[in-house]
Chains A and B, each alone.
Chain A
Amino acid sequence: MSEPASPTEVIERAFETHTPNQVAISFSGAEDVVLVDMACQISDEVRVFSLDTGRLHPETYEFIERVRDHYGVEIDVLTPDAEALDAFVKEKGLFSFFEDGHQECCGIRKIEPLQRYLEQVDGWITGQRRDQSPTRAEVPQIQEDTAFSNDRRTLMKYNPLAEWSSAQVWDYIRENEVPYNKLHDQGFISIGCQPCTRPVGPNMHERAGRWWWEEATQRECGLHAINIQE
């Protein structure tokens, strides 16, 4: 597919490539609700999942329920592996991410259940956008998922909103009267776990609302040569 396609065209492509129940929409309880809205206009077999880390805001749990009712869709709510989570909390407590970084906690609460769930499908649809973070600056609309594909099969990943800005997402929400998480009215832009998410001020990037105690450069694994003489 030559880029850019509209978000709806990307979702249609996903449903044409796989049967709708073999492609799952990742719904975080935030503005990626637009994916659910768009998908429900294309198919009545929409498969949606949310990662329940156990640390979400009450407003987010309420919103997940509201979306289930509003669209009449089943939502697979994924929970962490109990044994792994028990061991982690016993060893490191409930707030280790403030000292050790968020990767270990996110790994247990989000990545492991996500990996387990994605074993069941051929593709997944995410709300990732290029304007969300430097780590997403090159997200394409359609890609082979290198994180979760394995020797046995290739998983496809669809990012219908990759080309959209936050403003376009919110224009869509308003124009189509899409329900949204009440936290957005309290200044939250990006919504994740309660301890790791905060509202941001005017003109602040949404990245400032997540893991603000971490240095972005410390998380990058790329090798960036500097001082190279022409």
Chain B
Amino acid sequence: MHITFVKKILADGTPCAKCADVQERLEKAGQMDRIDEVIIADERDPESPGMKLAAQLNVSRAPFFVVRDEADAEPKVYTVYFKFAKEVFGKTSSKRDQSKEILNDNPDLDFI
């Protein structure tokens, strides 16, 4: 299995806060060691490895994970951390993490 973690740099050059949050969760859970590759999607540079990978896989959000079971297998893309952690690492997220993730991924809910 090969896991790629794609982090974003915003158009203004600042790192993506959610990407940092996800990386912190990976580190706290001891999962960072199982990430084979971390690449950057720099919104200022469409040729950056992460932007090219996002375009290739038709991904419109970041951070995201790409999991390949075998070298030539179809990659599986995860844009939701807790789903990735559950399916790939078998780790069940807390209610708190899941709810935060739902809000992060559905910003239209913020005024509810």
Contact = CB atoms under 8 A, between A and B. Distances in A.
Contact of A221 (B44, B95, B104): B104
A128 B108 contact: yes
Contacts of A114: 112
Contact-residue size bin, chain B (C-beta under 8 Å from the other chain): 35 or more
Contact of A107 (B51, B61, B100): B100
Contacts of B61: 221-223
Interface residues of A, number: 45
A169 B14 CA distance: 38
A225 B46 contact: yes
B39 interface: no
Interface in B81-95: 94-95
Interface string B41-78: 10111100001001000011110000000000000000
A228 B46 contact: yes
Interface string A205-230: 00000110000011111111111100
B111 A115 contact: no
A13 interface: no
**B10, B17, B44, B98 interface centre (most CB from chain A within 10 Å):** B17
Contact of A226 (B18, B44, B62, B103): B44
B111 A192 contact: yes
B96 interface: yes
B7 to A, nearest CB: 11
A108 B12 contact: no
B33 interface: no
A171 B18 CA distance: 39
B51 A225 contact: yes
Contact of A126 (B41, B62, B112): B112
Contacts of B45: 227
A141 to B, nearest CB: 14
A111 B103 contact: yes
A210 B109 CA distance: 13
A111 B8 CA distance: 26
Contacts of B54: 223
A217 B16 CA distance: 9
Interface stretch (A57-65, A96-104, A179-187): A96-104
A106 interface: yes
B27 interface: no
Given A103-B100, A190-B111, A147 B59 contact: no
Interface of A: 26, 28, 51, 81, 84, 87-88, 101-104, 106-108, 110-112, 114-115, 126, 128, 132-133, 135-136, 139, 146-148, 190, 192, 210-211, 217-228
Interface of B: 8, 10-12, 14, 16-18, 41, 43-46, 51, 54, 59-62, 79, 94-96, 98-112
